[in-house]
Structure 1
Amino acid sequence: MKEHIVDVINQIERDHEVKILFACESGSRAWGFPSKDSDYDVRFIYIHKPNWYLSIDQKRDVIEVPARDSVSIPIDPLVDMSGWELTKALRLIRKSNPPLLEWLQSNIVYYKSYSTIDQMKELEQKIFSPVSCIHHYVNMVKGNFRDYFQGEEVRIKKYLNVLRPVLSAKWIEKYDSIPPIEFQELVEDLVPAGEWKDSIANLLKQKRAGEEIYLETRIDNINEYLHEEIEHLETYAKSLNKDIPDPTEELDMLFRMALREIWDEELGELGKRRW
């Protein structure tokens, strides 16, 4: 599948006249609990040619294949690809956007070129905002908890989809750093041995066996844990007062360097034109 994904990446570059800087897995495969028929949730960062940025109008800064955008080769139905234009990604990393930070932590990288992503990774911890990230993860948990945990039965997948952000927030509380993307690493570090950890191991086993759509009788100790952690983490986030330096100047420079590195020839042609 990786070869097919790289072929699609190359075709996106040709069809949309962009350069893709980075592409990774971002869903259950990256989290470590895919089922047999899990989608490939490929996420990428790309940059346009310099002329694209010389406009008074704001343009669409997302490519979604095959949901909204097409490419001129067939795509495997299990592949879902979505990418953010570089300046959008840099604005989001300035806010410590957790989905973007997770992309950069992914252990399944399909494609990487040029030096831009390495420079972003050097900056990410420096401008990491624990408050923003904890709020994001807590809101994920509250939304899923409200929508899927009120009945007597709950889908296995939904349990894992709330436990992962809760443990990610707990990691931030413990280490004041970007949490790892792999769920098992979070569990091993943050969940003590015992009945609670055994319940999580059973959920993982069922999910990997392809039973994610099955309904599990509501696990009361998990529901109680979620109630307690939502309240605790919201209180903890309010107590934080970390000063984050404004990285805008560094991010502007990073973008300009990317343009020069990737589109040096096109920039040279722009400089030769008569205006």
Structure 2
Amino acid sequence: MMNIPPFINTIIGQQPYPLLFAIISGSHLYGFPSPDSDYDLRGVHILPVEEVVGLETGNETIEVSEIREALEIDLVTHDVKKFFLMLLKKNGYVLEQLYSPLVLTTSPEAEELKFIAKGCITRNHYYHYIGFAATQWKLFENERTYRLKPLLYVYRVLLTGIYLMQTGIVEANLMKLNEVFNLPYIHDLITQKIAGKEKSVVSNVNVDFHQIEYERLRHKLQEVYESSRLPEVPSANAALHNLLVRLRTNVKLRK
């Protein structure tokens, strides 16, 4: 279990709307936080009915960015309807948030959502992961300083995508993923990142080697996408609709 600074729970408690759940994402979720890594907090809030159907509507997205005790805090929460609509698209970010084990606050309805959202996982999440990996590889390659973070993101994203296509399970932690894939260089890269600063560079980097591995894993992701037994389209629309209606009208979840 990670040690969560007390001020994070204070920030969560200060949010203006009830939270379906709130979690920690980013490098902490992915298994390679540096001592100076910022805290990426993500969650889902529930706008009351009057701020959805009235003339004055509430914020679908709330963002808070501040520095506390020399650490940057980045909080983003989406209204439940917006989050559900993103779940119905090929959006790996929201799946990873929903299934994050680093939970700050939750609810019985959030646990219900985890079950429902299994019907949102499709083969087409391949496009999220293949595109995200390409973006991170370009960032790593073009900076010419060869920072650790984008390189680790490349491997994390590709292995998450491959594992999802093979199993239908969302796993965003690179250390846990490597227990399955056993890539010998991953442990050293994570060790460097955890021991250094957020913007540390790769020591003794062999860019040609990492490019070969990047291409190999991209091809692997394409192969498992083509053979995946995951459905083409989500099947959770009706269940999400029913849950949304209950959440909007459940006064027990209102502050």
Which band: TM-score by shorter chain?
0.7 to 0.9
Bigger mean CA offset, 115-124 vs 39-48: 115-124
Give runs of aligned pairs for residues 136-215 of structure 1, distance below 5 A. Answer: 136-150=128-142, 153-175=145-167, 177-191=168-182, 196-197=183-184, 199-215=185-201
Partner of 1:237: 225
Say if 1:151 and 1:41 are closer, same or farther in 2 by CA, change over 3 A.
Answer: closer
What secondary structure, in the 3-state scheme, does the structure 1 residue paired with 2:175 have? helix
Q: Deviations over 1:163-198 (max 9, x none)?
A: 0001011112332x133121111011012xxxx51x
Superposition deviation, residue 6 in structure 1:
1.9
CA shift at 1:238, angstroms? Answer: 5.2
Superposition map of 1:61-80 within 5 A? 61-66=60-65, 75-76=68-69, 77-80=71-74
Question: Which range moved further: 119-128 or 141-150?
Answer: 141-150
| 1:9 aligned onto 2:9 | no
CA distance in 2, matches of 1:66, 1:150: 28
Q: What SS does the aligned partner of 1:154 have? A: coil
Aligned mates of 1:228, 1:265 — CA distance in 2: 49
Cα distance change on mapping 1:224 and 1:34 into 2, 3 Å: same
1:104 corresponds, among 92, 98, 106, to 98
Native 8 Å contact 1:135 1:237 kept in 2: no
> Alignment length, in residue pairs?
248
TM score, norm. by length of structure 2: 0.86
Which residue number in structure 1 is paired with residue 32 of structure 2?
33
Q: Secondary structure of the equivalent of 1:88?
A: helix
Query: What whole-Å deviation, never above 9, does each CA across 1:136-157 have from its counterpart, x for those lacking one?
Result: 1110111121232157651111
Pair 1:245–1:226, CA change in 2 (3 A): closer
Which segment drifts farther, 99-108 or 205-214?
205-214
CA distance in 2, matches of 1:179, 1:22: 17
* Uncovered stretches (5+) of structure 1, i.e. residues with no partner: 68-73, 267-275
Residue type of the partner of 1:201?
H
Work out whether residues 27 and 40 of structure 1, in 8 Å CA contact, stay in contact via their aligned partners in 2: yes
User: What are the superposed Cα offsets for residues 15-47 of structure 1, whole Å, 9 maximum, x if unpaired?
Assistant: xxx111211000111111111111111111100
Describe the SS at the equivalent of 1:201: helix
The alignment's TM-score, normalised by the length of structure 1, stands at 0.80
